[in-house]
Amino acid sequence: MKVKIGCCGFPTARARYFEAFRLVEIQNTFYKPPLVETAKKWRQEAPADFEFTLKAWQLITHPPSSPTYRKAGIKVDKEKASSYGFFRPTPEVFQAWEATLAIAEALEARVVVFQCPAAFTPSEENIANMRAFFRAIPRKGLIFAWEPRGDWEDSVIKELCEELELVHCVDPFQRLPVTGGLAYFRLHGKTGYNYLFTEEDLLWLKEQCKPFGEVYCLFNNVPMWESAQAFKKLLSDESPDL
CATH code of the domain containing 104: 3.20.20.410
| Residue 76, SS3 per DSSP | coil
Residue 52 is assigned to a structural domain of this protein = yes
Q: Where would I find the beta strands (DSSP E) of the chain? A: 2-8, 23-26, 51-55, 111-115, 143-147, 166-170, 182-187, 214-219
Q: What percent of the chain has pLDDT over 70?
A: 97
Give Cα separations from 69 to 72, 81, 102 (angstroms): 5, 12, 21
Q: For residue 79, what are the domain limits?
A: 14-186+207-221
Q: Identify the sign of the CA torsion 169, 173, 179, 185.
A: positive
Residue 1 is assigned to a structural domain of this protein = no
Residue 39 is assigned to a structural domain of this protein = yes
Residue 1's pLDDT band, with cuts at 50, 70 and 90, is low
pTM: 0.94
Radius of gyration of the chain (CA): 17
Residue 240's pLDDT band, with cuts at 50, 70 and 90, is very low
Q: Does the structure show a pLDDT above 80 at 242?
A: no
Specify the number of domains making up the chain: 1
User: Rounded mean pLDDT of 50-66?
Assistant: 97
Residue 24 is assigned to a structural domain of this protein = yes
Q: What percent of the chain has pLDDT over 90?
A: 93
User: Rounded mean pLDDT of 117-124?
Assistant: 96
- CA nearest 103: which of 86, 111, 137? 111
Residue 2 is assigned to a structural domain of this protein = no
Least confident of 58-62, 76-80, 100-104, 192-196: 76-80
Q: Does the structure show a pLDDT above 70 at 239?
A: no
d(CA 186, CA 220): 6
Q: What is the pLDDT of residue 150?
A: 85
Residues 217 and 224 sit within 8 Å (Cβ to Cβ)? no
Residue 192 is assigned to a structural domain of this protein = no
Residue 211 is assigned to a structural domain of this protein = yes
Q: For the segment 152-180, what is each residue's pLDDT rounded down to a tens digit?
A: 999 999 999 999 999 999 999 999 999 99
Residue 86 is assigned to a structural domain of this protein = yes
Which residues, at least 6 apart from 177, have a Cβ–Cβ distance to it below 8 Å? 167, 168, 169, 170, 183, 184
Q: Does the structure show a pLDDT above 80 at 187?
A: yes
